[in-house]
Structure 1
Amino acid sequence: MSKTIEIVTFRLASGVTDEAFTAETMSMEREFLGKLHGFLDRDTGKSKDGDWVVVLHWASPEDAQSSMDKFVGNEGTKTFTDMIDMPTFKMTRYELRDHYE
């Protein structure tokens, strides 16, 4: 199994503030995402143009897929997903080929 990088890009739904989204994403990380098998870490950032990016690292592609299966439709993630403009949502997964610190 190889480590998996998941990159998600999106814009916030109309009326959602950066502060509200950041608070919700931090809550969702600690209460849901961080408890999933194979979760390694997650970074969230925002561009000057208002585009958001989330970079997740998973122990395996199976762990990444399992997380998505649990995420979609979960009551604990509904507030988070309601804050995203879903037509702008894009997710891509990559197999880790190199890591340097």
Structure 2
Amino acid sequence: MAKTIEIVTFRLAEGVTEEAFIAETKTMEREFLGKLQGFIDRDTGKSADGGWIVVLHWASAEDAQASMNKFVDAPGTKAFTACLDMSTFQMVRYTLEDFYKLEANVSV
């Protein structure tokens, strides 16, 4: 099984503040996402024009799909999903082909 990268882009629903969204994100990460098999980590970022991106890393494509199957009906994800403008929601999964991490003590 190959590691999987999941990239999600969206905009916030009308009336949802960034602070409310980040609060719901943190709750969902700790109460739902972090407890799922194969979850590695998740980054959330915002562009200058108000678009959002979430990058998730999974142990496998199967783990990523299993999370989505659970996410849809989980009570702990409803408030998070309500923050999103679902008409702008896009998700793509990729198989990890290369990984590079700069070591902390590297000198040139």
State yes or no: 1:30 paired with 2:30.
Answer: yes
CA RMSD of aligned residues (A): 0.4
Distance 1:64 1:38 in 2: 8
In the comparison of the two structures, how many residue pairs are matched? 101
Q: Which runs of 5+ in 2 are unaligned?
A: 102-108
Shift of residue 94, structure 1, vs aligned partner: 0.1
* Stretches (4+) displaced over 4 A: none
Flag the structure with larger Rg. Answer: 2
Identity %: 72
Q: Which residue of 1 is the match for residue 21 of structure 2? A: 21
State yes or no: 1:97 paired with 2:97.
Answer: yes
What does residue range 7-86 of structure 1 map to in structure 2 within 5 Å?
Answer: 7-86=7-86
Distance 1:20 1:83 in 2: 8
Q: Which residue of 1 is the match for residue 106 of structure 2? A: none
State yes or no: 1:4 paired with 2:4.
Answer: yes
Q: Which runs of 5+ in 1 are unaligned?
A: none
What do residues 9-59 of structure 1 show as CA deviations (whole Å, max 9, x unaligned)? 000000000000001101100110000000000000000100000000000
TM-score by length of 2: 0.93
Q: Which residue of 1 is the match for residue 105 of structure 2? A: none
| Larger strand fraction of residues | 2
Amino acid at match of 1:14: E
TM-score by length of 1: 0.99
Distance 2:27 2:90 in 1: 22
